[in-house]
Amino acid sequence: MSDIPSVWARPKKGREQPALSREQIVSEAIKLLDSEGLDALSMRNLGKRLDAGATSLYRHVANKDELIELAIDEVYGEIEVPAPETTEWRAGVVATTASVRAMINRHPWIAAVLGQVGLSFLGPNVMRMSDRMLALFEQGGFGLLAGNRAMRLVLVYVIGAGIGEAAWLTSLARSGLTEKEWEERVLPIAKATAAPYPRLLAAFETPDEEDQFAYGLDALLDGLVAKRA
């Protein structure tokens, strides 16, 4: 057995119980995470949903962290990365970031677990996505090292932005307010609090219709192109 705490570092058992598969366990875990959140995920709760004892689950996953690793990789499989031959490289990267953001919004629990358990980057879906993104950057004239750096920076940006959006949407849902209602309530408070800070107050009072995510992504890609040159 591997000393590294990751499902991807542990040899998969050659034979699975026919009554319950790893795929069924992971699928149900994702449904539980989507509906009730990370705090509700336990081997006992999952066993109840699957009408199976926790012992049956442990035949496929050693612990909760391994289960989360598998769930992360499964939802990464939802991300669509255009093939280089079907798109211009920059448009392909933009489309990929949109798919990543959509995945995070569908599964907001991922915000709390990315980078915290095991070796998530070794999952087959994560690796497939990374390889296809590298192909896009290669098409854009980036060498392997530069392309790998560019891919990592883009993913850091989109995942960070996506996690922020997921947290905001979760808070909004808990408040029971619409986005417009929230803004109408909070903006006067923000302006009053910012009164001693004239630049910040002016920023609150100045409408900005720019898509902040698109603005940031364009700036990042422009910088990467300049660095490549």
Scanning the structure block, which residue is given the tokens 């001693």?
Answer: 196
- The DSSP secondary-structure symbol of 18 reads T
Tens digits of residue pLDDT in 39-49: 999 888 998 89
Rounded percentage of the chain residues whose pLDDT exceeds 90: 55
Tens digits of residue pLDDT in 19-67: 688 899 999 999 999 999 889 998 889 988 988 877 788 888 888 888 9
Tens digits of residue pLDDT in 114-141: 766 667 788 999 999 999 999 999 999 9
CB atoms within 10 A of CB 104: 24
Looking at the fold, whether 111 and 188 belong to one and the same domain comes out as yes
In-domain check, residue 182? yes
Looking at the fold, whether 46 and 145 belong to one and the same domain comes out as no
> What's the pTM value of the predicted model, to 2 decimals?
0.83
25 class by beta-carbon count within 10 Å (0-12 exposed, 13-18 middle, 19+ buried): buried
In-domain check, residue 1? no
> Please, which pLDDT band fits residue 17 given cuts at 50, 70 and 90?
very low
- Among the candidates 25, 51, 75, a domain finishes at 75
